[in-house]
Amino acid sequence: MLKNRYKNIKILYVEDDEIARENGVEYLQNFFEQIYEASDAIIALQLYEKYQPDIIITDIQMPKLNGLEFVKRIRQKDKKTQIIIITAFCDKDYLLKAIELGLVKYLVKPVKEKEFEEALFLCVNSLKEDNSNIVKLDIDSYFDIFNKNLLIKNEIVKLRTKEILFLELLLKNKNRYVSYEEIENYVWADSVMTKDALKTLVKNLKTKIPKDLILNLTNSGYKIDV
């Protein structure tokens, strides 16, 4: 049973809309046993201090204290707790603040059940492996594996679908060279990858990220050096 796998994980759910909060808690009960709920960020801070949750799910637009300010207070002393922010907005300023606050997930309303579940399970995996989906490529560059955002010098850089998949694959396997076969299966899926197509993909990606990050080993594959 899924609940048994996650019975030791504590969830704090913060939402000022009562119906949305009730629905959220009911959904979370499918997977977790220890769920604490708050109608605003002030109450949430008190619950955080008392229960030290492993995962926090919070709305941005709330009375008394907004979600970003709430998370900022948490992050002043706690870099480990996994955090999902749910918002009605999707713009550069919010994305940059999410990166700055070390947010695990940034979900835009209306949130699809599959996205929410994926975010939750990635939080659980991050707790176990002690890692983040936000990867620092160099001093001015970040890639958010979950939200598929590349930020260079505080600007969002648009990536094509195959560029996202290729970068994602390299970062998930950053300690080794990824084989051509793995790249074809992951990036090209059901279609055929040619060497020229791969070279073009890498060349284009290198114009968007620090080009020295991607390494090639002849007849073996590619690796990212971060």
Q: Which of 158, 133, 145 is nearest to 209 (CA)?
A: 158
For 79, which DSSP code? S
User: What's the predicted TM-score (pTM) here?
Assistant: 0.74
Q: What is the pLDDT along the chain (226 residues), one digit of tens a residue?
A: 455 567 789 999 999 999 999 999 999 998 899 999 999 999 999 999 999 999 999 998 888 888 888 999 999 888 889 999 988 776 667 677 777 777 668 888 888 899 999 899 889 888 877 677 788 898 888 898 888 889 888 888 999 999 999 999 999 898 899 999 999 999 999 899 999 999 999 999 999 998 789 999 998 999 999 8
Residue 1: the pLDDT is 44
**Amino acid sitting at position 147:** N
Distance, in Å, from the CA atom of 159 to the CA atom of 138, rounded to the nearest integer, reads 18
Strand (E) or helix (H) holding 98: helix 92-100
Are 24 and 13 spatial neighbours (Cβ–Cβ below 8 Å)? yes
Residue at token pair 């604490």? 36
Phi, psi of 183 (to 5 degrees): -65, -45
Phi, psi of 113 (to 5 degrees): -55, -40
For residue 108, the model assigns a pLDDT of: 84
Closest CA to 28 of 106, 110, 102, 119: 119
* Residue 220 contacts residue 179 (beta carbons within 8 Å): yes
DSSP state of 16: S
Strand partners, 58: 14, 85
Give the closest residue to 27 by CA, choosing from 88, 87, 116: 116
